[in-house]
Amino acid sequence: MVHEIVLQPPENGMLVKNLIPVAHEVFAARCELLSCVSRLVNYTAIYACSLCGEVHVGHPPHKIRTCDVKGSPSSKEHSWVKGGVEHVLPLVESFHLYDRIGRAVSHNEMLEVDRIPAIVELCVQAGFDIPEYPTRRRTFPVYCVAGRIIDFEKRFPKEMSLGADIEAHGFWYKKKKLNEDTNSMVMHSDNIQAIAVLGMKAWEKMCIGASKLMEKYPVQTCGYCPEVQVGPKGHRVRNCQAFKHQMRDGQHAWQKATINDLAPPVCVYHIRDQQATKPLVNELKRYYGMLPAVVELFAQAGAPVGKNYASMMREDVVIPEIDEEKWVV
């Protein structure tokens, strides 16, 4: 008996129609977020440790001795250097798939397939069209018969051009950084607090929208390293550099990803208003709260912080003086 398994969108190659506007909102929120962060880093100092990569938002940098990597000094003090947008919003890339339900990217194709930000790839697969990175939009669904995917639609429908500009991989002649699109959204306002409030809303909208998209459009991440692949299955590129990767021949161990894998929240120490002029000290580190770096950046610029970060900020904890800490048992 041959049984047919009825596939629902997006497993059958079709788009989830009610999530197409969400994909457009997430892409617009990401562009707005990058514009706000790139503007605020000119007013708020960003520091990054050149040894361990820890990030601190605000001046002066903290003096908490937590640098414990190979090559760090015996005092475990950080070696601070000037940071930028890439330290507040780390870029997580994914291979761009022309056919979302097609075969996975092989190891020999790792230099032929473009890599774009994972959030952008999620929006593209959910219905946002970018001319520089074409993707296949089916007009008829695929079928699963006896465990095999059957595609009755022609590879290139009649209304599509069969020119050389449509390929399944290797869009080198169309290579263009998506950051150029965000540069057009330059903010001319000098109200730093308004920009921070706008950026905070964009951050929340991007995270909430991406989480909603990930409920239908699966995203894979490696259980050993931060590699991410947007799609129903992970790629076959053997570039895992995690611990004991030689035993796996560099292959990834794919598992379901979360929003923190696509937009990693770089946690930094939270600076309260009364601590803005003096650095955080190592003796009182257990009293300090933490926040994602992008949220801390907006908070120092005057944006209100949501209640969901209250447990991380630890605003209810009274920070004693150093001489008072010595008497705490």
Q: How distant, in Å, are the alpha carbons of 17, 131, 142, 290 from that of 14?
A: 9, 19, 8, 42
CB 119, CB 210: distance < 8 Å: yes
- Going by pLDDT thresholds of 50, 70 and 90, the confidence category of residue 2 is low
Per-residue confidence (pLDDT) for residue 179, from 0 to 100: 46
Mean pLDDT of the 124-143 span: 91
3-state SS class at 80? strand
Mean pLDDT of the 298-326 span: 87
Instruction: Report how far residue 48's alpha carbon sits from residue 50's, in angstroms, rounded to the nearest whole number.
Output: 6
Asked if residue 258 has pLDDT above 70, the reply is yes
Nearest to 2 by CA among 143, 145, 142: 145
* One-letter amino acid of 265: P
Q: How distant, in Å, are the alpha carbons of 38, 92, 116, 217, 303 from that of 199?
A: 10, 19, 22, 26, 9
pLDDT digits (tens, 9 = 90+) for 197-207: 999 999 999 99
Per-residue confidence (pLDDT) for residue 7, from 0 to 100: 87
Mean pLDDT of the 219-241 span: 95
Per-residue confidence (pLDDT) for residue 159, from 0 to 100: 53
Mean pLDDT of the 182-205 span: 79
Per-residue confidence (pLDDT) for residue 25, from 0 to 100: 97
Q: Average model confidence (pLDDT) for the chain? A: 87
H runs (alpha helix) in the chain = 20-40, 85-88, 118-125, 179-183, 192-214, 259-262, 293-300, 310-313, 322-325
CB 271, CB 280: distance < 8 Å: yes
Mean pLDDT of the 180-209 span: 79
Least confident of 60-64, 163-167, 244-248, 290-294: 163-167
Domain spans of the chain?
Answer: 4-94+116-131+138-158+188-213+267-320
Report pTM: 0.86
Mean pLDDT of the 28-37 span: 96
Per-residue confidence (pLDDT) for residue 254, from 0 to 100: 96
Asked if residue 164 has pLDDT above 50, the reply is no
Per-residue confidence (pLDDT) for residue 188, from 0 to 100: 60
Nearest to 180 by CA among 130, 136, 227: 130
Mean pLDDT of the 304-314 span: 92
Nearest to 82 by CA among 60, 103, 66, 97: 60
Tell me the two tokens of residue 259. Answer: 């929003």
Based on DSSP, count helices (H) and strands (E) in the chain, helices before strands: 9, 13
Asked if residue 151 has pLDDT above 90, the reply is no
The residue with greater pLDDT, 308 or 177, is 308
Mean pLDDT of the 309-317 span: 90
Per-residue confidence (pLDDT) for residue 239, from 0 to 100: 93
Per-residue confidence (pLDDT) for residue 203, from 0 to 100: 97
Asked if residue 234 has pLDDT above 90, the reply is yes
pLDDT digits (tens, 9 = 90+) for 60-112: 999 999 999 988 999 999 999 999 999 999 999 999 999 998 889 999 999 99
Asked if residue 154 has pLDDT above 90, the reply is no
Asked if residue 176 has pLDDT above 50, the reply is no
